[in-house]
């Protein structure tokens, strides 16, 4: 009888310890799963950032003017807002720091000859038309926004940016881009 009782108690202790170990293992696995989900979400965010960066450094068109390289990276139209936003990257291709880059205005002509002009050319972090102390070979993102635009423009035939020369002795120069496809959303 004592042996049966001891066997019964030992089996129960073994069974309960096994259940407790299983419960702890489940909690550990749940915590590991939560951590993996958090890491996965962080990696998805990083992956999207790198994809966007690759799209930014893949220009649609490029122009070199006054020791600057300008790369158009996207031309997006918004049917709801009736705007066209052009994103471009500018880069100082000199070996020394450039004092400033100022882009005062932009205008375009569509395939039917319609024109639009804007002074909303943002080239600096403070939403300004002027950026200062531009280091060599550092790409910087900038945008141009045209407002109150017809939403049926498929192609911008010609886009011109008025850029002040680096020595301010000449009148603004024109950076010209042609046949830019507008992607409407």
Residue 2: pLDDT band (50, 70, 90) is low
State the pLDDT at residue 27: 75
Residue 51: pLDDT band (50, 70, 90) is confident
In the chain, what are the domain boundaries? Answer: 1-56, 61-184
| Cα dihedral across residues 108, 110, 116, 118: positive or negative | negative
The fold adopted by the segment(s) 61-184 is Immunoglobulin-like (2.60.40)
**93 half-sphere exposure, CB direction, 13 A CA radius:** 12
State the pLDDT at residue 6: 62
Give the residue with greater pLDDT, 182 vs 21. 182
pTM of the full structure: 0.71
Per residue in 79-91, pLDDT (tens digit) is: 999 999 999 999 9
Per residue in 111-153, pLDDT (tens digit) is: 999 999 998 998 887 888 888 899 999 999 999 999 998 878 9
Could you tell me the two tokens for 41? 């979400």
Least confident of 68-72, 101-105, 164-168: 164-168
């Amino acid at each position: 009888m004592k042996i049966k009782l001891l066997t019964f108690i030992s089996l129960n202790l073994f069974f309960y310890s096994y259940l407790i170990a299983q419960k702890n293992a489940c909690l550990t696995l749940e915590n590991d799963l939560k951590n993996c989900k958090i890491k996965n979400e962080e990696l998805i965010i990083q992956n999207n950032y790198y994809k966007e960066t690759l799209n930014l450094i893949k220009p649609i068109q490029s122009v070199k003017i006054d020791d600057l390289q300008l790369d158009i990276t996207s031309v997006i139209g918004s049917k709801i807002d009736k705007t066209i936003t052009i994103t471009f990257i500018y880069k100082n291709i000199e070996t020394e720091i450039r004092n400033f880059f100022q882009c005062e205005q932009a205008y375009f002509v569509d395939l039917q000859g319609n024109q639009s002009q804007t002074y909303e050319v943002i080239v600096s972090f403070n939403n300004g038309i002027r950026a200062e102390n531009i280091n060599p070979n550092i790409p910087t993102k900038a945008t141009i926004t045209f407002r109150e635009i017809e939403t049926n423009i498929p192609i911008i035939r010609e886009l011109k940016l008025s850029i002040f020369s680096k020595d301010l002795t000449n009148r603004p120069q024109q950076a010209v881009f042609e046949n830019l496809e507008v992607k409407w959303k």
